[in-house]
Structure 1
């Protein structure tokens, strides 16, 4: 039986991962000759396409991507970059010669012994490409985890992104940090050594945790629990800051962020900021502080995200009229806000033959969510008419609204058939539209609404 280290040297026909025993990918390898059209794709383009198919994070406890269930003894069907080599000889050659396909490591203390050969092989295949590492500490047998961690930390000079609780002082090319440990212990050593950090996410930040010279280099800053005294020290030093997502307490005073382009905060925070260059904003809760903030900042919004919106229809429509250049609008309506939901649908509908200025004339992408699940048949009809009116805007040669997502808690059986027919008509005309029956699993989470850069 060949060892994992020599598996790369075997001819293609001998390599259905047979050297890994019960970790083998199942199924025959497709004959390359039957895919001449695929073989015509330039190798560089094929490798790039492969990178787009891989998730940034595999899972919480599984270290290797699986198409089958993660069981301790039964054979596994491997996914991700491992599955690419099972298509044809060309794909396998591209996968093996593309280190960037093998650079994402999701590890936990629940790592299984049978995963070690694959992890060591993946690390070998990553070559000298920058590594993205996520380490999760949980109850379990730490033996296999510690074994591979020794190997992985020997390559820490190539760590680019990391989410970890531990000593990270030997990471010279690190640019992205996610620190979910409560308390600053250990992180100062990291900041002293990793001078290239430009994106920083910390669960709890305390005063003087981040050196001011480092804050001057930070472009993206995300913190979940902080105080105004810490923000008033750190943010004025962040002269390169363009991305900010913060949640804290003890607000007092006013801060100006001259270069900030994107801000995610709870509504009350807006009363303490000025951001003249802001283009995108995500606000959680009521919108009372949004209009004064926009007037004070003099900024021009192109994207507005309202999460857990609990305001009134008139207030929402007034806010949208004050920002006519909004191209992307995403609103998650909190239970009890269905009247505002229906009022917005009506206000967004363009009535043919009228000269009145319509709401959000630059709107290209729209996402709406009804958590209360009160969308009835009349509301269905109103939504469809609104989408149709925005899709073919009167007086425009090209469509205005190009993408729409409607998230509903329950698509009723008596209307689902007609609903799908109406949506299909728009799809056939070229509109990117979908109605999603939302559950706790697939409803857009707060992270998906707020995060603009991938955190492993």
Structure 2
């Protein structure tokens, strides 16, 4: 084997076939040899045996030559592979020098970094997750990541397990605390998890409770006394959500009072597991209220919370007939967004500044809903722009409501049950919107589900296409369905609608996007 003197390529000499029969060999020896190859007879002494020895000698010589050539080729291939690896590495490094990313301003990178943060953790924080991984790319990224305290402000403790090593390690939490000025705590406590680890982490975070700005917590029996001990120390807390893991978590607890003295709290909500446990709040300073409880507790709270801009009112624990006919109407003069678990709640409220209203957990029959809405809008001379229903509403009722209030420009439907009725309701709603005479001023439609169910994608597309061709065309549509899985033909038609000018979003997004439509608390369950 040798290299060409001009091009340097490897040349392999031609190897003669050393096993070919010798033309001068005795023809009878050749024939005898061929027969012996297919039998177990011993070779006879004389010319035949000499012929076979000659074949063995020549074949061995050729085999050695072929082996040497293979070895040389493998060595050359390894040399070429090493050279290719070096060239590829050099190419990538030189290309990276010209990358626009190197010239990207720090403030733009900071925005990119923000969008890499996970919406919620399914497992403990790891170094290969954002924001930790950002510090392992290059020194510039690390410097920028460390200079943005907000990137490090969210703490997710959400692991229901009895294995303590699956919780975030304390040194990691301590390092993250050092890198941020404010702390947004999302602590999903679990009675079945390792209580000692949960308490240890919570106590570490509690040492910095004066820097807490957000707290979403699922309480356990072990966490309740630690939380109560924070009274008077929550100086920066602005946003609060409290719920309980199981009924036993609240055994012996009549109320939570530690938040009543939080001077910055403006957004608060809570829900129990099996019974109502009041969380005392500074109601006069609240702008957002999300509570599930008996009406008498709502009534007292809403009268005191005179600055509310958004309210979500649930009656999960209502045991007696409601509301009494002699209840005085509660004025909510600044309220702009209202969500109620039953339309009867509307008869007790007046909200002249309202722009968005959500009726939750709608089920058939819906007798009286349009009557209550009529009375509410007469009592509250507002101009609602967004109307939302969750559950499985009859399309005819929805059409009646929407057509009565032509000022509504955005309609939201969230289906929260994986039932055949939900599939039927979904199909009926899309069919309703496809009619040109339905809500002629409607220009935005949002449809979503928390649970997967069978979807008529063709009907959905036909509705979008029909509304695009209406006198008042649809401008924006959002479809967030759990289990979203249309076929490629449907996807292609959706992209065609986007190219035609429809602001269209679709996919299987997390529940937080749906919660924002219906004024529910993010990260935790809806009321």
For the criterion TM > 0.5, the same-fold answer is yes
Q: In the aligned structure 1, how far is the partner of 2:430 from the partner of 2:115?
A: 35
Matched, 1:52 2:115: yes
Where does 1:13-52 land on structure 2 (aligned, <5 Å)? 33-34=96-97, 36-52=99-115
Change (3 A) 1:324 1:39: farther
- The corresponding residue for 1:190 is 259
Q: SS of the counterpart of 1:200? A: strand
Which range is displaced more, 80-89 or 142-151?
Answer: 142-151
- The corresponding residue for 1:235 is 302
- The corresponding residue for 1:246 is 313
CA contact (8 A) 1:85 1:93 kept: yes
Where does 1:36-435 land on structure 2 (aligned, <5 Å)? 36-59=99-122, 62-64=123-125, 66=126, 78-107=128-157, 111-112=164-165, 115-126=169-180, 128-134=181-187, 136-164=189-217, 165=224, 166-167=227-228, 168-169=230-231, 170-181=233-244, 182=250, 185=254, 187-192=256-261, 194-204=262-272, 210=280, 214-224=282-292, 226-248=293-315, 249=318, 250=320, 251-252=322-323, 253=327, 254-266=329-341, 267-284=343-360, 285-286=362-363, 287=366, 288=369, 289-311=372-394, 313-332=395-414, 335-336=420-421, 341-342=426-427, 344-349=429-434, 359-367=439-447, 380=458, 382-394=459-471, 400-405=474-479, 407=481, 416-433=487-504
Q: SS of the counterpart of 1:361? A: coil
CA contact (8 A) 1:325 1:360 kept: no
CA contact (8 A) 1:177 1:200 kept: yes
CA contact (8 A) 1:320 1:359 kept: yes
Q: SS of the counterpart of 1:236? A: helix
Number of matched pairs: 391
Unaligned runs of 5+ in 1: 1-29, 67-76, 352-356
Q: Cα deviations across residues 347-397 of structure 1 (Å, max 9, x unaligned)?
A: 43365xxxxx65241422332669896755xx82x5333312323544x7x
Change (3 A) 1:132 1:365: same
Q: Cα deviations across residues 26-72 of structure 1 (Å, max 9, x unaligned)?
A: xxxx969546411322212322332233235324xx331x5xxxxxx
CA contact (8 A) 2:450 2:511 kept: no
Q: In the aligned structure 2, how far is the partner of 1:184 from the partner of 1:220?
A: 25
Structure 1 outlier segments of 4+, above 6 Å: 205-208, 408-412, 441-446
Which range is displaced more, 257-266 or 179-188?
Answer: 179-188
Change (3 A) 1:299 1:120: same
Q: In the aligned structure 1, how far is the partner of 2:359 from the partner of 2:195?
A: 41
CA contact (8 A) 1:304 1:329 kept: yes
Q: In the aligned structure 2, how far is the partner of 1:208 from the partner of 1:443?
A: 26
Q: In the aligned structure 1, how far is the partner of 2:450 from the partner of 2:355?
A: 26
Change (3 A) 1:319 1:157: same
Change (3 A) 1:125 1:342: closer
Structure with the larger RCO, 1 or 2 (CA within 8 Å, 6+ apart):
1
Which has more helix, going by share of residues? 2
Q: SS of the counterpart of 2:260? A: helix
Q: In the aligned structure 1, how far is the partner of 2:300 from the partner of 2:101?
A: 56
Q: In the aligned structure 2, how far is the partner of 1:31 from the partner of 1:158?
A: 43
Q: In the aligned structure 2, how far is the partner of 1:318 from the partner of 1:366?
A: 18
Q: SS of the counterpart of 2:335? A: coil
- The corresponding residue for 2:57 is none
CA contact (8 A) 2:445 2:476 kept: yes
RMSD: 3.6
Q: Cα deviations across residues 259-294 of structure 1 (Å, max 9, x unaligned)?
A: 111111122322322222111111121551334333
Unaligned runs of 5+ in 2: 1-91, 218-223, 245-249
Q: Cα deviations across residues 192-244 of structure 1 (Å, max 9, x unaligned)?
A: 3x122111112149698536xx21101111112x2222122111111111111
Change (3 A) 1:110 1:122: farther
Q: In the aligned structure 2, how far is the partner of 1:96 from the partner of 1:410?
A: 37
Q: Cα deviations across residues 51-101 of structure 1 (Å, max 9, x unaligned)?
A: 233235324xx331x5xxxxxxxxxx6211012223333222111221111
**Greater C-alpha Rg:** 2
Q: SS of the counterpart of 1:190? A: coil
Q: TM-score, normalised by structure 2?
A: 0.64
CA contact (8 A) 1:31 1:88 kept: no
